[in-house]
Amino acid sequence: MNPVSAIADGKWLRLGAVLFVALPLFAASVSAAPNDESTGKKGIDSVSYEEIKAKARDIDSILQKAWQANGVSSNGRIGHDTFLRRTYLKLGGRIPSVEETIEFLKRPNRAGLIDSLLESDAFVSAQFNFWADLLRIRNDQEGLGLPYIEFVKDSIRKNKPYNQFVKEMLLASGYTWENGAAGYYMRDYQMPLDNMSNTMQVFLGTRMQCAQCHDHPFDKWTQMDYYQLAAYTYGVETRLDANQQPKGFADAYKQSEGNRELRDQIRDSFGDMDRGVAVNNTDIKLPFDYKYDDGKPHQAVKPRVIYGEDIVLEKDTGENRVKALANWVTSDKNERFALVYANRLWKQAFGMGLIEPVDDMTDETQAVIPELMTYLSKMMVELKYDTRQFLRVLYNTSAYQSQVNRKDIEPGEPYYFTGPVLKRMNAEQFWDSLVTLTIPEPDARKAWFGGEQARVNAFRQYKNKSAGEIIAAAKKGQGMMMMGGNGGNDPQGNDPRWRGYGEHLRRASELQSPANLGSFLRQFGQSDRDVIDNSVDDPNVSQVLEMFNGRMFEEVTSPDSLLSKNMSKYSRDRVKVLFLSILNREPSSEELRFTAKILAGRSEKSGYSAVIWALLNTRQFSFVE
């Protein structure tokens, strides 16, 4: 029997659970990210499930010991529907579609779902949001944010080992449109000291910024430590002078010497060519008000790491300094490197770090379960910083597959991870879930920034031009014109899947970073991407107003939305479709009664609109259980 006609025939309800078996057409619609052969990307099964499961069991047994020692016990295993929704939201960044829901509940294979989500485009989107918040990635950052965004997404898609990913950023040079990783330094344009503080906080969970101006009041770092460390990357230049720019530009500027008008024209057209990363041999100097005995104001400082073995540079050049720092940060011997990332990924899965805050560690910092933290750090190294395999282990633990905490975890009170922590969806999960209700195949709809693409194209085109060509273009104001243009057509512009759906109906990772102030995403707490890890899940009234009256509600209930289409597709089981779409579970008989009551005596449109409104305005919808 054709399952679609079964539904159309209205046999769904009558067939009950049998129906789920009869739905082979809903093959996992989470599409796998394309394999990239050139990078030798390995599939998820490059590590055997048995090996993963063994590690998951190790974690569970460490946890059990901790529970026994502290007189607590597991929160209890979750049902398949809760597992499905939770895992989609955490690994895929959105709720599952109705078809994905049905498919899984029909044949619930938890390990299989974890694997397919880890290899999906949805995973790339969710992890990008995580990194965009940590790295403060902005579309409007100096030297163009777009190529940096692409670099990060591409690194996630290829499952680049974490240590390599970090190293590529720390070693990046050139223009972002040649090497997206250069966006890492460009993000702190002309602020090399701040960049050092950020490197320490993001990758090593260590706060150094206080020591920029004076000895750290709450940690052991001195201002001298800070300057010695900053000395490694102080030679990294984010603004290139004329002779560091491509030859044609250097020549053009030379030719314009004494001709102010021409120089202004070149600058007007191609001024942005000075936004790029180059490394020189500049020494850092102590500030004018340096007040400690171990140095004098304006004194040059040589690089030195703040912990671990001293590094001896074979030849003391700017480039070698940067290399030395990148090696030191990402080394297996640097215990904070693997630990910080392991703790951050634990927090993704469980909602809270074993160490909190995750980025303010001192010598006295202790994880709530030290043995587990040690195990995870070692596992990170053992798995060669493979993000997907690491997460695969965590999601296969029975601790992860347990119920969330019932009561609040009071500040200062230890939580022994008897299950994950109940959290409100973050802004991106919220938005992406509404998008999932509105358009088909949301993961496949990619970002398109025409104006920025035009600039990238123009830069690439002019990079190798001669001085003569550059000057001619500048006189016509050409560079500017091209850069203000559009970068061709959106390759998905005519895709029939999304015909008629607004441009903004894309996943958060495919929209401008950050979204505009006052937008849905920002109201729900998306990071402003100005400060590390700045997203919040504070409740506020404007969120509630958005759920009452907002534009997104109109989109979800519009006749063109995926939800509306699914309702007419499965017209005899609309209520069930609504529950499976929005809460990803079947309605209870009591809920069916409530719903029937509302639907009775109303027009169809008003009735279902009220039910959708009510479902979206539940805590069940907005929390990740």
Partner 1 sequence: MKELKKLISRSDELTRRMFATRAAQAMMGVGIGSIMTRQALAADPRIQARIQAAESGDNTASTGGSGQTAKSVIYFYMSGGMSHLDTFDTKPGAETQGATKTIKTAADGVTISEYFPKLAKQMNNVALVRSITSTQGAHEEGNYLMHTSYNPRGTIKHPCLGSWAVKMKGKMNEALPGFVLVGGGGRTVTSGFFENKFGPAPVGNPGTGLRNSNLAFSEGEFNDRLKLADSFDRAFRSKYRQKQVESYTDLYKEAIDLLKGEDIKAFNIREEKESVFQSYGNNYIGQASILARRLVEKGVRFIEIDYGGWDNHDNIFGGIGQRCNQLDQAMGALIEDLSSRGLLSSTLIVVGTEFGRTPRINERRGRDHHPAAFSGLLAGAGIKGGQFYGKTDERGDRVAENPIKIPDFNATIATAMGLNINQVIYSPSKRPFQVANRDGKPIQELLNV
- Rule CB under 8 A: choose which of 100, 188, 428, 510 binds partner 1: 188
Residue 615 makes contact with partner 1 by CB under 8 A: yes
- Rule CB under 8 A: choose which of 97, 163, 176, 198 binds partner 1: 198
Counting Cβ atoms within 10 Å, is residue 533 exposed (0-12), middle (13-18) or buried (19+)? middle
Report the C-alpha gap between 324 and 239 in whole angstroms. 23
Find the part of the chain contacting partner 1 (CB under 8 A) among 119-127, 148-156, 327-335, 398-406: 398-406
CA neighbor of 177 nearest in space, from 276, 106, 109, 91: 276
Report the C-alpha gap between 285 and 518 in whole angstroms. 42
Residue 215 makes contact with partner 1 by CB under 8 A: no
Residue 428 makes contact with partner 1 by CB under 8 A: no
CA neighbor of 612 nearest in space, from 581, 566, 571: 581
Beta-carbon-side half-sphere exposure of residue 534 (alpha carbons within 13 Å): 12
- Rule CB under 8 A: choose which of 35, 259, 558, 618 binds partner 1: 618
Q: Residue 369 CA to chain centroid, in angstroms?
A: 27
- Rule CB under 8 A: choose which of 15, 28, 250, 610 binds partner 1: 610
- Rule CB under 8 A: choose which of 422, 444, 490, 504 binds partner 1: 422
- Please say whether the beta carbons of 453 and 577 come within 8 A: no
- Rule CB under 8 A: choose which of 4, 313, 472, 545 binds partner 1: 545
Residue 199 makes contact with partner 1 by CB under 8 A: no
CB closer to partner 1, 258 vs 601: 601
List, in sequence order, the alpha helices (H) in 318-466: 318-330, 335-350, 370-382, 387-395, 427-438, 450-462
Residue whose entry in the numeric block shows the structure tokens 């796998």? 32
- Please say whether the beta carbons of 170 and 326 come within 8 A: yes
Residue 27 makes contact with partner 1 by CB under 8 A: no
Residue 289 makes contact with partner 1 by CB under 8 A: no
Report the C-alpha gap between 589 and 608 in whole angstroms. 18
Identify the sign of the CA torsion 232, 237, 243, 244. Answer: positive
Give CA angle at 140 (461, 246), nearest 5°.
Answer: 30
579's CB contacts (< 8 A; 6+ apart) are 585, 586, 587, 591, 615
* Tokens representing residue 509 in the block: 């990772």
CB closer to partner 1, 33 vs 483: 483
φ, ψ of residue 485 in degrees (nearest 5): -80, -160
Find the part of the chain contacting partner 1 (CB under 8 A) among 101-109, 376-384, 485-493, 606-614: 606-614
Report the C-alpha gap between 265 and 261 in whole angstroms. 6
CA neighbor of 233 nearest in space, from 199, 258, 203: 199
CB closer to partner 1, 119 vs 188: 188
- Nearest distance from C-beta of residue 456 to partner 1, angstroms: 22
- Rule CB under 8 A: choose which of 1, 17, 312, 541 binds partner 1: 541
x/- binding map, residues 583-602, to partner 1, per CB under 8 A?
--------x--xx--x----
Residue 274 makes contact with partner 1 by CB under 8 A: no
Residue 622 makes contact with partner 1 by CB under 8 A: yes
- Please say whether the beta carbons of 421 and 409 come within 8 A: yes
CB closer to partner 1, 332 vs 537: 537
Residue 195 makes contact with partner 1 by CB under 8 A: yes
x/- binding map, residues 253-272, to partner 1, per CB under 8 A?
--------x-----------
- Nearest distance from C-beta of residue 127 to partner 1, angstroms: 22
Residue 366 makes contact with partner 1 by CB under 8 A: no
Residue 537 makes contact with partner 1 by CB under 8 A: yes
* Tokens representing residue 475 in the block: 């006189």
Find the part of the chain contacting partner 1 (CB under 8 A) among 54-62, 115-123, 287-295, 536-544: 536-544
Task: Give the interface size with partner 1 as a residue count (CB under 8 A).
Answer: 64
- Rule CB under 8 A: choose which of 39, 243, 466, 542 binds partner 1: 542
195's CB contacts (< 8 A; 6+ apart) are 185, 187, 188, 233, 236
Site for partner 1 in 484-523 (CB under 8 A): 517-518
- Rule CB under 8 A: choose which of 37, 530, 559, 601 binds partner 1: 530
Residues near partner 1 (CB under 8 A) are 187-188, 191, 194-195, 197-198, 201, 207, 209-210, 217-218, 261, 356-357, 360, 404-408, 411-412, 422, 424, 517-518, 525, 528, 530-531, 534, 536-546, 548-550, 591, 594-595, 598, 606, 610-611, 613-615, 617-620, 622-623, 625
